[in-house]
């Protein structure tokens, strides 16, 4: 069983930066590929980024590519999402998900994730 806790969300001005963290409890988090998704008010959950178990492979949604960077530190059981040049349309609750251990790569499909955190609110507004 993997339990995930997201942190780092807050109110930020347009053009600002935030770093979100997804910290796992449970054994061997390095064996789980991880994805970040977000859900804006009145919308469905959408893919943001994912990273493989080792951190050597990742992917981004077109809307965030070049502004967001995903990384992981398996010694700290944590996956990060560095978000730069934030815009109001980035406002959402951000969730991290972890895949089952037999999956090396992340996925851009929500249904491929077995474990989820409770989310952290990111608000971009002046």
Walk along the chain (126 residues) and give the pLDDT tens digit of each residue: 889 999 999 999 999 999 999 999 977 788 999 999 999 999 999 999 999 999 999 999 999 999 999 999 999 999 999 999 999 999 999 999 999 998 999 999 999 999 999 999 999 999
Say if residues 53 and 104 touch (Cβ distance below 8 Å): yes
How high is the pLDDT of residue 1? 82
The C-alpha atoms of residue 114 and residue 98 are separated, in whole angstroms, by: 6
């Amino acid at each position: 069983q993997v339990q995930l806790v997201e942190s780092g969300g807050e109110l930020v001005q347009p053009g600002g930066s935030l770093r979100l963290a997804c910290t796992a409890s449970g054994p061997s988090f390095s064996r789980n590929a991880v994805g970040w998704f977000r859900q804006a008010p009145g919308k469905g959950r959408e893919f943001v980024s994912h990273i493989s178990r080792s951190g050597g492979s990742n992917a981004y949604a077109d809307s965030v590519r070049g502004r967001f960077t995903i990384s992981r530190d398996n010694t700290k059981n944590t996956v990060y999402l560095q978000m730069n040049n934030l815009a109001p349309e980035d406002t959402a609750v951000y969730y991290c998900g972890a895949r089952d251990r037999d999956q090396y790569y992340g996925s851009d499909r929500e249904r491929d994730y077995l474990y989820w955190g409770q989310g952290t609110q990111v608000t971009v507004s002046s």
